[in-house]
Structure 1
Amino acid sequence: MKQQQFTWGPRTISFWMAALISLGITFIGIRYALQPLKASIAFGLSLPDGPTALYGSIKGIRDVFSGLTLAYLLYSRNVRATAFIFMFATCIPIVDASVVYQAHGFSNMPAFLIHSCTALYGIINSMLLFRDSKR
């Protein structure tokens, strides 16, 4: 009996988990670029109105870049590179949760939990991606 060759892509859960993050962070980046004040409130740290709100646009373009970079890795189907980049990028929601906690403690629990759960999601998918890279 012929053994089937493993191909990482749309038939794997790790691919779709990474795709969800790619779409999500791209959307968040576009929202920051277009509506930095509203997006910052959803993040858990509201920006003051005025020129300071432009920091949201800076964050936005970086988020769009991150999302599109991950989209390219998915397109190229390079599971090993995707695994490493995804693992490294998991530090972002960890730091985000820490910053929200430093600013508000647990008084802004929804924002803290969103960042913390995103970090956990990233850790889990990193493990799945590394597993898939060894198949």
Structure 2
Amino acid sequence: MTKTLSLAIAFLTGIGMIFIGARFLIAPETAELGYGIHFNEQGDYSFHYIKGIRDLFSGLLICTFLVSKQTKALAITLLLGTIIPVVDMLIVLTKEYNGITQAIPHISAIVVCFLFGILLLRNKKEQSNGYHGFAKIIQSADTHSESVIEYAIVPTEKTPWHYHTLFSETFEVLKGTLEVGQNNQVYQLKQGDSVTIMPNEKHYFHNISTADCLVKVTISSGNKNFENALLILKGLAKDGFASASGVPAKLSDLALFVYLNNSRMVGLQKIAEPLFNYIAARAIKNGRLKELELTYCRE
């Protein structure tokens, strides 16, 4: 509820900034009075236009972050943007003909930018801390013939049916329970149980319990991309860029995950595989993969 309210106020702030900016460009003298100062321009509205384009840009930036769901960037923009109404207020109050009444709009802007910037950042932090999944590299393909990763599968987290061509997977449940489908069989694994999925064997896993499932997966032969895929997946989820079940929010990030862990789709999903390959290739070309690796795959 707090996040929704904060986003709504941020949207209104953005629209308000666009309106104020447009008014300084279209009706500079009227906008000047609303700002709280007045002077004899003698037909020269250069400074009005400068302020107008500043406010117009600020409003468009806020709305762009909202539309693209860049909550953290929006929060930081609001917090840093507080300096604008602070300076505006000081300018207005330096005029002898003004009092606190003329400063009220600027004080309101200060409160809105600072308060809702803090609330959005706090909400982001709470969202991040609410995700319990993690991935930890126990043994890397950099130095060993097998990759060994320990990671937590949160409740409802599930993969679709898929297969790998480059390696086998051995799942060992360290804590909790895990449903694993392998070809035409479905297994309910408990602590101490394990199952090995060979290359080209279709499979899925699903945490159908209400508690996290801790597993150790061994990849043979070792695969660095698979290691990075899990680190990125869990990192995105922890930072709030994924659904409650851990699916990346951005399609390009999901496509990169599928690419990195050598997943091949089965059934009707196979139709979407060329599209996912294209999206992943574009994301790699645009530097998104490098960005994710730098963020989540450092030692």
Secondary structure in 2 matching 1:71: helix
Q: Is 1:124 aligned with 2:81?
A: no
Q: Percent identity over the alignment? A: 30
CA distance in structure 1 between the partners assigned to 2:14 and 2:102 by the alignment: 20
CA distance in structure 2 between the partners assigned to 1:17 and 1:56 by the alignment: 26
Shift of 1:111: 1.9
Note the alpha carbon deviations across 1:24-61, whole angstroms, 9 max, x for none.
01000000000111101110111423243231112111
Q: Is 1:95 aligned with 2:84?
A: no
CA distance in structure 2 between the partners assigned to 1:69 and 1:29 by the alignment: 13
1:113 corresponds to which of 96, 104, 107: 104
Q: What TM-score, normalized to structure 1?
A: 0.85
CA distance in structure 2 between the partners assigned to 1:104 and 1:97 by the alignment: 13
The answer to whether the 8 Å contact 1:44/1:108 transfers is no
Alignment of 1:45-124 (within 5 A): 45-104=37-96, 107-124=98-115
Where does residue 257 of structure 2 map in the other structure?
none
* Superposed CA RMSD: 1.8
Bigger Cα displacement from structure 2, 60-69 vs 46-55: 46-55
Paired amino acid for 2:116: N
Runs of 4+ that moved beyond 4 A:
none
CA distance in structure 2 between the partners assigned to 1:31 and 1:133 by the alignment: 34
Where does residue 158 of structure 2 map in the other structure?
none
Secondary structure in 1 matching 2:59: helix
The answer to whether the 8 Å contact 1:41/1:47 transfers is no
Note the alpha carbon deviations across 1:83-102, whole angstroms, 9 max, x for none.
11110001111111111111
Name structure 1 gaps, 5 residues minimum.
1-7
Bigger Cα displacement from structure 2, 41-50 vs 69-78: 41-50
Shift of 1:110: 2.3
- Look at both structures and tell me which one has the larger radius of gyration over its CA atoms: 2
Paired amino acid for 1:120: V
Shift of 1:109: 2.6
Shift of 1:103: 1.7
Shift of 1:104: 3.0
> Which one scores higher on RCO, CA 8 angstroms, separation ≥ 6?
1
The answer to whether the 8 Å contact 1:23/1:67 transfers is yes
Where does residue 181 of structure 2 map in the other structure?
none
Which structure is higher in helix share?
A: 1
CA distance in structure 2 between the partners assigned to 1:109 and 1:123 by the alignment: 20
Where does residue 5 of structure 1 map in the other structure?
none
